[in-house]
Amino acid sequence: MDQPKPGVLLVDDVEANLVALEALLGDMDCELTRAHGGNEALRHMLRREFAVMLLDVQMPEMDGFEVAQHARSNPRTRDVPIIFLTANHEGEQGMLRGYGTGAVDFLWKPLNPDVLRAKVRVFLDLYLGRRRLADEVAAHKRTLSALELANEALRHFTNAASHDLKAPLRTMRGFLSALGEELGERIDPQARDYLQRSLKASERMDSLLDSLLGYARLQRPIALGDVDCAALLGQVKSDLGERIERTRAELVCDALPHVRGDGDRLYQLFLNLIGNALKFRRDGEQPTVSVSATRYGAEWMFCVADNGIGIDAKHRQTVFDAFTRLHSTSSYEGSGLGLAICKQIVEQHHGRIWVESNPGGGSHFYVALPA
């Protein structure tokens, strides 16, 4: 639906002057509205929007200055630009009074047609620009509202799907384990291999569902607060205790600062980075993981360094993409979402994340967060 043309309000108590203004502006892409006095002008301004008002100063009953004052006192009309038209060259006091009532310009009669048209054209362009901007803002708000509804629906779906899919997975793992125990040594090697593969596949599916659910939870609004990174890393170390003990890994944490952030998400960030360091270790070598932080200007630079298998330079960017895997699931299990989750968490904190690594030379993951 086409929007109406921008309006120009012409205010003068002399009919001939209104006719002359219409003749000068009639071919411009706007809608001209006449008013023969101040009260009529104010009524028109309450009925519709105007891009600009051309207002005669010398009028009976209510002069142009009074009309401008009334217009400025009403929230619905106070933003309409006013150009005063006057046959008298106003002195300094008159000019100050005019600008004090909200005038944007003065034009003196007899009017210069080119100057008048140029000034009106400027305000028509400004009005159309504001209208386009308002339309774009409204469209963006509608889009954001639709995206929020879609995200909310996705969160509900993910939670429901995760719960509904996890239940049969738990049942399946339970029956598979029971079957293995029941058959014991009677099961032939090939059948036992099938059984173990099925159990591993169900465990991978369970891990993938957990990752998907964690990824979906990141769409919720971030909750900022003071985060003690030393305490947070202590919790990560405790939760990874079984894996650290099993791999005989050494985890070293330097003195770590407090930062402003979402504690749950920063916990997930370091859990994923340290978990990856323990997962991608070199055969026959004790895993060593160190976590440190250094202040650089307005940022804290965290580093999670390991002595693992490393990453080829050509993959340093793609490793942060969702579902990106550099190794087969038979070599290293995982969902391919861990580093994608890390990247999103860091970006939600207005930070940066990158990796420096070489094959066989370990990896250094850097996280820069606002101090």
Distances (CA, A) of 350 to 3, 122, 260, 281, 298: 40, 40, 11, 30, 12
Superfamily holding 225-370: Histidine kinase-like ATPase, C-terminal domain (3.30.565.10)
The residue type of 111 is L
Give me the mean pLDDT over the 269-292 stretch: 89
CATH architecture of 7-111: 3-Layer(aba) Sandwich (3.40)
pLDDT band at 1 (very low <50, low <70, confident <90, very high): low
pTM metric for this prediction: 0.53
ω into residue 110 within 30 of 0, thus cis?
A: yes
Measure the CA–CA gap between 134 and 157, rounded to whole angstroms: 34
Is the pLDDT confidence value at 325 over 60?
Answer: no
- Residue 195 is predicted with a pLDDT of 84
Measure the CA–CA gap between 104 and 95, rounded to whole angstroms: 11
Tokens 């219409």, located at residue: 22
Is the pLDDT confidence value at 137 over 70?
Answer: yes
Measure the CA–CA gap between 177 and 171, rounded to whole angstroms: 10
So where are the chain's domains? 7-111, 149-217, 225-370
Tokens 């340290």, located at residue: 274
Say what percent of the chain tops pLDDT 70: 89
Is the pLDDT confidence value at 4 over 80?
Answer: yes
Dihedral of CA atoms 236, 241, 243, 249 in degrees, nearest 10, equals: 90
Weakest-pLDDT range from 12-16, 46-50, 64-68, 325-329: 325-329
Q: Are 333 and 280 in contact (CB under 8 A)?
A: no
The residue type of 171 is T
Measure the CA–CA gap between 132 and 109, rounded to whole angstroms: 34
Q: Are 42 and 63 in contact (CB under 8 A)?
A: no
At 124, give phi and psi (nearest 5°): -65, -45
Is the pLDDT confidence value at 82 over 70?
Answer: yes
